Amino acid sequence: MIVQIISSKAIEAVQNLFGVSVPASQLAVQRTIPSFRNQGDFSLVVFPLLKVSRKSPEETARLLGEELLRLMPEAESFGVVKGYLNVRIVKGFWEGFVKDNHSTHFFGVDNQPSGKPVVVEYSSPNTNKPLHLGHVRNNLLGYSVSQILKASGKNVAKVNLVNDRGIHICKSMLAWKLSGLNETPQSSGKKGDKLVGDYYVLFDKMCKTELKELIDSGKTEDEATAASKLMAQAREMLLKWEARDPETLQLWSMMNEWVYAGFDVTYKRLGVDFDKIYHESQTYLFGKEIVEEGLKSGILFRKDDSSVWIDLTAEGLDEKLLLRSDGTSVYMTQDLGTAQLRANDFDPESLIYVVGNEQNYHFEVLKLILQKLGRPWADHIYHLSYGMVELPEGKMKSREGTVVDADDLMDEMIATARAMTEELGKIEDFDSDEAQELYRIVGLGALKYFILKVDPRKNMLFNPADSIDFNGNTGPFIQYTYARIKSVLRKAEAEDIRFEHFEVNELHSKESDLIISLYEFPSTVKQAAADYSPAIMASYLYDLARDYNTFYHELSILKEENESKKALRLAISSLTATVIKNGMQLLGIEVPERM
């Protein structure tokens, strides 16, 4: 990469000029800011060199520039602005880059991943409710990070942990059992996950009614909670489940199957998938074995009520429960078992958990427990902690039924895409099926881009109305740019215009800006992978689409009279389309061939 070439030659130049070896970190090379691009393509800041040069910033930059011209055949000229050295790369370098890559469909994407697997866990739904907006961010983030890591050369395994057991599952089961309706997805006409979610909400309503009656009878809130018959029944159902009671297991299996069928529909619409799915109902047993191991080694301890704990006060934390007094497990128990299973299954380079920042403490404890238990791979656990998604009206609550259902959200986005597309008159020559497919691609593209363009670590406010705009920093803007390029290329093909051969005698500033942006795609993939941040890729694609539209409006392409320039601009267009398509695929977003 040219940035690495400039950096290494600059280090050599400093050694030649001042007799000092400096680390690359002191000679950061970056794209020249727009206001200085008449001076060069890439910039070095020379202020860190002033102590060794003992000269002014301008003189230091001038001397370094002259030495770089001597050492670097790729360097054509340089300019100095205060303490910035701006280096211009020879046009032949960019000509070769475009010629070598304009017809390469997988430019910037590594198609031969290698090494130990990087295991990425995402989704992790509960089988007591359908997927909602929070799950949408989780799934899109996990899938995109997986795709970006794979494109950077990593061997990736996408995994899902289904939380299919526990008191929350029993609440849905109990509400269904007590309702006496014997509803099924077939009899109700509802998706299975939504039907089970309705019973989770019903349990909360039944419980609140019971608590109100107890409080009205004179009990305190704590006394009423302790006296709740519904909660006692739910706890009893959990104990029966862990004791493998046949009737309880049959009900649990039936309702979970309803949910799995519903999840599969939503996952397919979202465009996410998994290489392996784990179930808490299986992994918690391995977790219990690990707890027993920890008891025998003295790392864990049992209290008088028979509950099992670990003392982390020496590490600045607190005591952490691993088994309840009745022997039932907690989330930490199954996470210990799941981590061990994945280590056995994959012998991974790293274990990445895509889980909201509300669980920061949980993963800090998980890693610490596994380290204390002597698991060497525990050091490779990484919690990709992402921020919560909120709505203009506040936080969502599943048990109160105030969540934004994922399926409903996708329906709304597609409907909005349809309304805006028809209003702009972009489908006049589309048949019905083609139009419907375009609405789906644009609607889901808008949703995915709006969520992924935000730094994963930040909380975000989701407003669907802001996500579909053909002119702003949105998915549809980038999709429209791609479709515009494909239209240009189709016209060139219809006119039998070839663009394999061209010579670059000079580059217009809009051409060079766009070529350099395209050149930076592979390094952007690497950076997004290193930071686990699809937002880096989203920002790059928006800037690239914006650069192309400026190029398109300011320069003639098909009507350019100079055949070499026409060929160059078509080659640039072709490579831009490839990069947009490849980059959007890393975000899980489709691009339409026309719109």
Band (14; pLDDT cuts 50, 70, 90): very high
**pLDDT (average), residues 162-184:** 94
pLDDT at 96 over 80: yes
Domain check: are 375 and 453 in the same one?
A: no
- Asked if residue 372 is part of any domain, the answer here is yes
CATH number at residue 337: 3.40.50.620
pLDDT at 287 over 90: yes
Band (568; pLDDT cuts 50, 70, 90): very high
Domain check: are 366 and 448 in the same one?
A: no
**pLDDT (average), residues 355-374:** 96
How much is the pLDDT for 595? 86
Cβ contacts of residue 94 below 8 Å, gap of 6+?
Answer: 504, 507, 512, 515, 516, 519
Residues 228-242: tens digit of each pLDDT: 999 999 999 999 998
Band (398; pLDDT cuts 50, 70, 90): very low
Least confident of 61-75, 168-182, 213-227, 390-404: 390-404
Domain check: are 442 and 537 in the same one?
A: yes
How much is the pLDDT for 400? 47
**Residue 540: how many other CB atoms lie within 10 Å:** 20
Domain check: are 368 and 416 in the same one?
A: no
Domain check: are 377 and 305 in the same one?
A: yes
Question: What's the Cα-to-Cα distance from 38 to each of 30, 63, 83, 271, 551, rounded to whole Å?
Answer: 15, 20, 16, 44, 17
How much is the pLDDT for 524? 96
User: How far, in Å, CA of 245 to CA of 238, rounded?
Assistant: 10
Band (186; pLDDT cuts 50, 70, 90): very high
User: How far, in Å, CA of 525 to CA of 586, rounded?
Assistant: 9
How much is the pLDDT for 402? 54
pLDDT at 245 over 60: yes
Task: At 448, give phi and psi (nearest 5°).
Answer: -65, -45
pLDDT at 394 over 90: no
How much is the pLDDT for 26? 86
Domain check: are 76 and 211 in the same one?
A: no
Q: In terms of Cα–Cα distance, which of 117, 195, 187 is closest to 156? A: 117
**Number of domains observed in the structure of the chain:** 3
How much is the pLDDT for 327? 85
pLDDT at 399 over 50: no
How much is the pLDDT for 468? 77
- Asked if residue 293 is part of any domain, the answer here is yes
How much is the pLDDT for 393? 61
How much is the pLDDT for 406? 93
Percent of the chain topping pLDDT 90:
83
Amino acid identity of residue 287, one-letter, is: G
**pLDDT (average), residues 352-366:** 96
**Which domain covers residue 203, as residue numbers?**
122-390
CATH number at residue 41: 3.30.1360.70
Residues 490-523: tens digit of each pLDDT: 999 999 998 888 888 888 999 999 999 999 999 9
Task: At 334, give phi and psi (nearest 5°).
Answer: -70, -30
**pLDDT (average), residues 366-372:** 96
Residue 594 near residue 483, CB atoms below 8 Å: yes
**pLDDT (average), residues 455-473:** 83
Average pLDDT over all residues of the chain: 93
Residues 35-68: tens digit of each pLDDT: 888 899 999 999 999 999 999 999 999 999 999 9
Domain check: are 133 and 170 in the same one?
A: yes
- Asked if residue 81 is part of any domain, the answer here is yes
Three-class SS state of 508: coil
Q: β-strand 350-356 against 381-386: which pairing, if any?
A: parallel
- Asked if residue 403 is part of any domain, the answer here is no
How much is the pLDDT for 18? 93
Q: In terms of Cα–Cα distance, which of 336, 266, 334, 330 is closest to 123? A: 266
Q: Is 91 exposed, middle or buried (0-12, 13-18, 19+ CB in 10 A)?
A: middle
Band (283; pLDDT cuts 50, 70, 90): very high
